[in-house]
Amino acid sequence: MTMDIQTFDTTPFPDQKPGTSGLRKAVSVFQKPHYLENFIQSIFDILEGLQGQTLVVGGDGRYYNRQAIQIILKMAAANGVARIKVGQDGILSTPAVSAIIRKYQALGGIVLSASHNPGGPKGDFGVKYNISNGGPAPEKVTEAIYARSKVIDKYYILNAPDVDLGTLGESKLGEMVVEVIDSVQDYQELMESLFDFDRIHQFLTSGNFRLCIDSLHAVTGPYAHALFEQRLGAPAGSVQNSIPLEDFGGGHPDPNLVYAHDLVEVLYGENAPDFGAASDGDGDRNMILGRKFFVTPSDSLAILAANAKLVPGYQDGLAGVARSMPTSQAVDLVAKRLGIDCYETPTGWKFFGNLLDAGKATLCGEESFGTGSNHIREKDGLWAVLFWLNILAVKQQSVEEIVREHWQAYGRNYYSRHDYEEVDAGKAKALIDNVRSQMPNLPGKQFGKYEVEYSDDFSYTDPVDGSISENQGIRIGFTDGSRIVFRLSGTGTQGATLRIYLESYEPDTAKQNLDPQEALGNLIAIADEIAQIRTFTGREQPTVIT
């Protein structure tokens, strides 16, 4: 068969710098002529040995997923890729892509998602390249892609009809094999290898435990349906909002107390079930709820670490744990007691990759509703849900009891994040610059009963490859262990998002029952005093509090 490869002349777009999690832009930006093609060709151009290799492609089903996949398939064929595994109907969750890259030793994969950002024609779209370990490309790769995108002048695409993504099986696109795979199967097999499915099945069918999983009309719908209802025996309807929609039903597919309001209503309502969980657009985040009880992601990580030996996949214990810098120090306390290392990385899952590859960490987590382990190289929403269910099935306690016992044993790290979304980028930068300029004078300074112990701009030296990442967020630590962190989000697409992370430590069990906003009241006021948030942003209050 002769291949009809078309070569297009193109000119660079100046804005194709991948952020915390790949290139994320409004759909309309990706729809500009040549925009997606330029970025995809930039990826292909910097991949050594691409020809003859296997790639994995799939996305969270948001608007433009299908069109983008057709373009990527045809470009891959024109660039000499031998085989592409693509999820049926273009659907693959981010953790599933990671699992499939690893299982089939693919060169890498392309994930189409803007994660928790809204979808639809007016929403966001995103492209992320993952490397052969299944994880997001490290900075040296994303920088190479960006550098390439600034000088690109040609891309290659096969002139061919669209591939039928609805039917499982192999077909040819030029000389490349396109393999449409079941979106769930490989992922489910991996989960069955880690968790005690029989025990969880027994637990879910015992009649003593009810759960509600909310897929927020995003990618985890088919996965959650197959796992919890079909395989683990939860009654039909236990998974809600389970059909992936291109616009996520108009919602914001972010599993937190604000955006997962349907689920929150169920878990805080009359006759509430025992357990609730939600995932984000692409399935890598999770929120865990008990009956009328919210588990802070930082606590969730600590609790999974403390109870890991109850789960078959982790029964031999953990090599170490890792958390991002703004994540609370609850897991540090667990690591200390277990006698294992605890690593503090910048925000962004990619920073865990080396630690996992080197066997230095087994569990990782972030305050931003991400938890995961060495089973793949992405965070994994449904994995976290299964981990919790496995623990619950063994301990036969409620979520709230498990969390409260954990606080009794380790102390409670009160924690909250205040987000100011879509702030004018210049004003947000001015706010950060102002805080940075105060840094040298803060140590020793007294704010009521709080004394500043240290203040720095977080810098990370990767213990595996020695790479250095600077300016990762301003930390202000107090002598009693409390912390305030100021950071600008690297995932937003509109203006800037200011994040303020607040943490205090309470070892006294009698004082562990406060509302975090109340417990952190003094720190919230200090953060405002230092950063002059209202003056700089013009905002009276945060957009989202988690």
Length of the chain: 546
In SS3 terms, 475-498 reads as: EEEECCCCEEEEEECCCCCCCEEE
Could you list the residues that contact ligand G6P (CB under 6 A)?
A: 20-21, 115, 324, 347-349, 366, 368, 370, 489-491, 499
In SS3 terms, 121-179 reads as: CCCEEEEEEECCCCCECCHHHHHHHHHHHCCCCEEEEECCCCCCCCCCEEEEECCEEEE
Rg for the chain, CA atoms, rounded: 23
User: Is 378 near Zn ion (CB under 5 A)?
Assistant: no
User: Is 214 near Zn ion (CB under 5 A)?
Assistant: no
* Candidate residues 214, 229, 280, 367; the one interacting with Zn ion per rule CB under 5 A: 280
Nearer CB in complex with Zn ion: 280/299? 280
Q: Which residue is nearest to Zn ion (CB)?
A: 115
- Report, in Å, the least distance between residue 96 CB and Zn ion: 12
- Report, in Å, the least distance between residue 487 CB and ligand G6P: 7
Beta bridge partners of 57: 86, 110
Query: What residues contact residue 206 under an 8 Å CB cut-off, 6+ apart?
Result: none
Beta bridge partners of 110: 57, 129
- Residue 159 is encoded by which pair of tokens? 């002139």
Nearer CB in complex with ligand G6P: 276/370? 370
Nearer CB in complex with ligand G6P: 111/232? 111
Point out which span in 103-111, 220-228, 284-292, 518-526 binds Zn ion (CB under 5 A).
284-292
- Report, in Å, the least distance between residue 57 CB and Zn ion: 17
Q: In the chain, what is the straight-line distance between the N-terminal and C-terminal CA atoms, in Å?
A: 56
Known catalytic residue at 115 = yes
How far apart are the C-alpha atoms of 187 and 93, rounded to whole Å?
Answer: 9
Select from ligand G6P, Zn ion, none the partner in contact with residue 233, using the beta carbon and a kind-dependent cut-off of 5 to 8 Å: none
- Report, in Å, the least distance between residue 230 CB and Zn ion: 24
Select from ligand G6P, Zn ion, none the partner in contact with residue 282, using the beta carbon and a kind-dependent cut-off of 5 to 8 Å: Zn ion
How far apart are the C-alpha atoms of 174 and 479, rounded to whole Å?
Answer: 65
Nearer CB in complex with Zn ion: 95/138? 95
- Report, in Å, the least distance between residue 18 CB and Zn ion: 15
Whole-number Cα distances in Å, 508 to 43, 240, 409, 410: 53, 39, 10, 10
Nearer CB in complex with Zn ion: 362/368? 368
- Report, in Å, the least distance between residue 51 CB and Zn ion: 31
Residue 441 φ then ψ, to 5°: -95, -5
- Say how many residues touch Zn ion, by CB under 5 A: 4
Write down the residue that tokens 């990442």 correspond to: 469
Nearer CB in complex with ligand G6P: 92/310? 92
How far apart are the C-alpha atoms of 193 and 191, rounded to whole Å?
Answer: 5
Cβ–Cβ < 8 Å for 74, 81: no
* Candidate residues 284, 367, 378, 503; the one interacting with Zn ion per rule CB under 5 A: 284
* Candidate residues 115, 220, 242, 482; the one interacting with Zn ion per rule CB under 5 A: 115
Residue 532 φ then ψ, to 5°: 50, 55
Nearer CB in complex with ligand G6P: 118/290? 118
Select from ligand G6P, Zn ion, none the partner in contact with residue 349, using the beta carbon and a kind-dependent cut-off of 5 to 8 Å: ligand G6P
Nearer CB in complex with ligand G6P: 17/336? 17
Cβ–Cβ < 8 Å for 495, 504: no
- Residue 506 is encoded by which pair of tokens? 């309470």
Select from ligand G6P, Zn ion, none the partner in contact with residue 20, using the beta carbon and a kind-dependent cut-off of 5 to 8 Å: ligand G6P
Point out which span in 66-74, 108-116, 214-222, 518-526 binds Zn ion (CB under 5 A).
108-116
The one-character DSSP state at 450 is E
- Report, in Å, the least distance between residue 297 CB and ligand G6P: 10
Beta bridge partners of 285: 370
- Report, in Å, the least distance between residue 298 CB and ligand G6P: 12
* Candidate residues 37, 45, 186, 282; the one interacting with Zn ion per rule CB under 5 A: 282
Select from Zn ion, ligand G6P, none the partner in contact with residue 79, using the beta carbon and a kind-dependent cut-off of 5 to 8 Å: none
Cβ–Cβ < 8 Å for 130, 377: yes
Active-site residue identified among 98, 113, 115, 298: 115
- Residue 149 is encoded by which pair of tokens? 């995108």
Positions marked active-site:
115
Site for Zn ion, rule CB under 5 A:
115, 280, 282, 284
